[in-house]
Amino acid sequence: MSAHAIELKAAPAGRDTRPGLGRLTKVELRKMVDTRSGFWLLLAVVGLTLLSVVITALAAHEDQKTFSHILSNALQPAGILLPVVGILLVSSEWSQRTALVSFALVPGRSRLIGAKVLAGVLLALAATAVALVVAVVGTAIASTSAPHQWSLPLGLLLQDIVYVVSSMLIGIGFGAALLASAPAIVFYFAVPTALSALGSINSLHGTIEWINIGESAGPLTERVLSGHDWAQVLVTLAVWMVVPLAIGLWRITRRDVG
Amino acid sequence: MIEAEKLTKRFGGRAVVDDVSFRCEPGTVTGFLGPNGAGKTTTMRMICGFSHPDSGRAGVLGGSYRELPNPGRRVGVLLDASAQHGGRRGREALALSALTMGVEEGRVDELLALVGLDRPAARKRVRQYSLGMRQRLGIANALIGEPEVLILDEPANGLDPEGMRWMRGLLRGFAERGGTVLLSSHLLHEVDAIADRLVIIGSGKIVAQGSKEELLSDAGTLVRADDAAALGQALTVAGLEAREAEGGGFLVDAEPRAVGAAAQGGGVALVHLAPAGDAGLEQLFFDLTTDNGEEGE
């Protein structure tokens, strides 16, 4: 309990320097991995990625043992669990009430949300890189006679990236729009199921397939999309990603925190 | 320096903070005192830019809090000790703050030592912390940027007597080096021991404010006699405002000299006659608590 530790110093450098977006992004990246839930979620992503590659490489049908297919399977754990990481990154500031600390240090709330989005994109890219590496190893091990075993069209690789990054951003959007962990997670997983159920009604099918994330984003990792497919993906992402993010940003910047 | 100027905040038509004005000067510790639900927390959150006043303004260091480029280096804030992620280790919570405001991470361990969280405690997840440990972590978090101003909401809540004494020393030292401190409490004795100025709030309104000496001298006279009925009679005859005090006797809104004269006039033998001091402050505070009830914040 030394007293000198809190001595007031005459305005040391950095005292009135706004923390840059890079530094805030680094803080948000760290927040995703330094909690117990965040740590286990990310470990689960890595573990399940390995598992799905091993299973595909060993047990899949011969002509499915291609790099692009193994990669598609390797990305599924990230696509399913990263949204939860994204939800928690925003909603835990409210459910754990850390917003009272975060916004005290960064009163520009939209900058803080911007840093969360950037951190989410970086983590999604890292997850994609991990999946790529694991899929390369898996493909090498899966000796197969399938033709074009190693081919991966550039378009498909870009779609893979879009798939993982958008999954993460959808999570961040849901977390921001609902500002509560449990409802955001439940909504995120329940709504596509409900939409699929609605989509099975013939008269609604045409409309539902334009907003059902499960249906329109699914092919992203499977095949190079046609123009019509892309139109569906963009409409779905607008509904699932852009709208929640916009609602969230509006709520967070306006709302009293406490 | 902290300023609140005619701050008003309404929730659902009810003014929870009503025309609140006060100033905290460098070198002083201001105790912000009021029962639960009186508006302390709402006022402090408006000062820190967490909620918008419906009218009036609040500021720190001559401007609004939200305009500070790197607020953590100028103003240390502890608004709620429970507002930490339960799944994060104590040390990590401080490290995040240090990183955000650009303070070297070595200072984290310095602060942990200062607030008395040892290595095993710092490695624990915050979920396992007692309220007292959370308060210590919160105070460390407020101090990490070497601020000039401290704003602490109920920091003594959950501290044991040793912790209270420690915090008194810490905050007094901070003020003596020219810092400004605003701390709130719903318990008179917590603030009484630390603060040199008091701002007392009840039902959203400031009821009294000033230095402790001023408030104590305004507190009236405490007088007791074995024959309480006769004493009450004598005070009434002399035209003095008197109320029954906690623990017997009367609290009289007059100087001891006038009260003594009134007793002599009524022929009542006194057993106690003195400025009310703390007893008067307690009475004022007790009235507030009973008038307003527990409304919750």
pLDDT tens track for B50-75:
999 999 999 999 999 999 999 999 99
pLDDT confidence bin for A2, thresholds 50/70/90: very low
Left (φ > 0), alpha (ψ -120 to 50) or beta: where does A38 sit?
alpha
Distance from B107 to chain A by nearest Cα, in Å? 9
Residue B199: beta bridge partners?
A: B32, B209
A71 close to A128: Cβ distance less than 8 angstroms = no
- Residue A12: its pLDDT value, please? 57
DSSP string, A161-192: HHHHHHHHHHHHHHHHHH--HHHHHHHHHHHH
Name every chain A residue with its beta carbon within 8 A of the beta carbon of B170. 6
Among A99, A230, A41, which residue's Cα sits nearest to residue B82?
A99
> For A15, which of B50, B74, B174 is closest by C-beta distance?
B74
Minimum mean pLDDT range among A190-204, A220-234, B11-25: A190-204
- Residue A36: its pLDDT value, please? 94
Whole-angstrom distance, CA of residue B100 vs CA of residue A111: 13
For residue A4, give the chain B residue with the closest CA. B114
% of residues, chain A, pLDDT over 90: 67
Q: What are the residues whose beta carbons fall under 8 Å from the beta carbon of B145, sequence distance 6 or more?
A: B70, B72, B73, B74, B76, B97, B101, B103
Q: CB-based contact (8 Å) between B125 and chain A? A: yes
Whole-angstrom distance, CA of residue A153 vs CA of residue A161: 13
For residue B53, give the chain A residue with the closest CA. A256
For the stretch B199-213, pLDDT in tens is 999 999 998 899 988
Among A58, A71, A62, A219, which residue's Cα sits nearest to residue A151?
A71
Name every chain B residue with its beta carbon within 8 A of the beta carbon of A17. 69-70, 102
Write down the architecture of domain B2-210 according to CATH. 3-Layer(aba) Sandwich (3.40)
For the stretch A112-146, pLDDT in tens is 999 999 999 999 999 999 999 999 999 998 877 76
Query: Which amino acid, residue B109?
Result: D
pLDDT confidence bin for A203, thresholds 50/70/90: confident
pLDDT confidence bin for A7, thresholds 50/70/90: very low
Task: Please state the rounded mean pLDDT for residues B114-125.
Answer: 96
- Residue B293: its pLDDT value, please? 45
Label each residue of A20-66 as H, E or C: CHHHHHHHHHHHHHCEHHHHHHHHHHHHHHHHHHHHHHHHCCHHHCC
- Interface contact flag, A104 B77, Cβ < 8 Å: yes
The full length of chain B comes to 297
Query: Which amino acid, residue A60?
Result: A
Among A144, A46, A104, which residue's Cα sits nearest to residue B100?
A104
A vs B, Cβ pairs < 8 A, gives 129
Check whether B266 has a pLDDT greater than 80.
Answer: yes
For residue B142, give the chain A residue with the closest CA. A101
Check whether B295 has a pLDDT greater than 60.
Answer: no
B83 close to A101: Cβ distance less than 8 angstroms = yes
- Interface contact flag, A256 B50, Cβ < 8 Å: yes
pLDDT confidence bin for A13, thresholds 50/70/90: low
Check whether B297 has a pLDDT greater than 70.
Answer: no
Tell the burial category of B285 from Cβ atoms under 10 Å away from its Cβ (0-12, 13-18, 19+).
Answer: buried
The vertex-A29 CA angle with A105 and A220, nearest 5°, equals 135
- Residue A60: its pLDDT value, please? 86
Check whether A172 has a pLDDT greater than 60.
Answer: yes
**CATH 3.40.50.300 intervals, chain B:** 2-210
Check whether A1 has a pLDDT greater than 70.
Answer: no
Query: Which amino acid, residue B179?
Result: G
Whole-angstrom distance, CA of residue A122 vs CA of residue A134: 18
Name every chain A residue with its beta carbon within 8 A of the beta carbon of B94. none
Minimum mean pLDDT range among A167-176, B19-28, B171-180, B253-262: B253-262
- Residue A65: its pLDDT value, please? 87
> For B80, which of A23, A97, A256 is closest by C-beta distance?
A97
Minimum mean pLDDT range among A22-26, A180-184, A209-213: A209-213
> For A30, which of B45, B73, B96 is closest by C-beta distance?
B96
Helix (H, G, I), strand (E, B) or coil at A226: coil
pLDDT confidence bin for B46, thresholds 50/70/90: very high
For the stretch B126-170, pLDDT in tens is 999 999 999 999 999 999 999 999 999 999 999 999 999 999 999
- Residue B214: its pLDDT value, please? 83
Enclosing H/E stretch for A234: helix A227-237
Tokens 């527990």 correspond to what residue? B294
Distance from B58 to chain A by nearest Cα, in Å? 15
Among A238, A245, A202, A199, which residue's Cα sits nearest to residue A217?
A238
- Residue B192: its pLDDT value, please? 83
Mean pLDDT score across all residues of chain A: 90
- Residue B191: its pLDDT value, please? 87
- Residue A217: its pLDDT value, please? 82
Whole-angstrom distance, CA of residue B73 vs CA of residue A17: 9
Whole-angstrom distance, CA of residue A167 vs CA of residue A79: 6
Check whether B289 has a pLDDT greater than 70.
Answer: no
pLDDT confidence bin for B285, thresholds 50/70/90: confident
Determine what percent of chain B falls in helix, strand and coil, rounding each to the nearest 5: 40, 25, 30
Enclosing H/E stretch for A17: none
Q: CB-based contact (8 Å) between B128 and chain A? A: no
Task: Please state the rounded mean pLDDT for residues A78-101.
Answer: 95
Interface pTM, i.e. ipTM: 0.89
Check whether A148 has a pLDDT greater than 80.
Answer: no
Distance from A67 to chain B by nearest Cα, in Å? 38
Distance from A50 to chain B by nearest Cα, in Å? 26
Instruction: Give the distance, in angstroms, between the CA of residue A230 and the centroid of all CA atoms in the same chain.
Output: 20
B112 backbone dihedrals φ, ψ, rounded to 5° = -60, -40
Among A162, A129, A157, A155, which residue's Cα sits nearest to residue A67?
A157
Whole-angstrom distance, CA of residue A179 vs CA of residue A175: 5
The vertex-A23 CA angle with A19 and A27, nearest 5°, equals 115
- Structural tokens at position B48: 């820190």
Whole-angstrom distance, CA of residue B268 vs CA of residue B271: 10
Tokens 């009524």 correspond to what residue? B266
> For B82, which of A26, A97, A105 is closest by C-beta distance?
A97
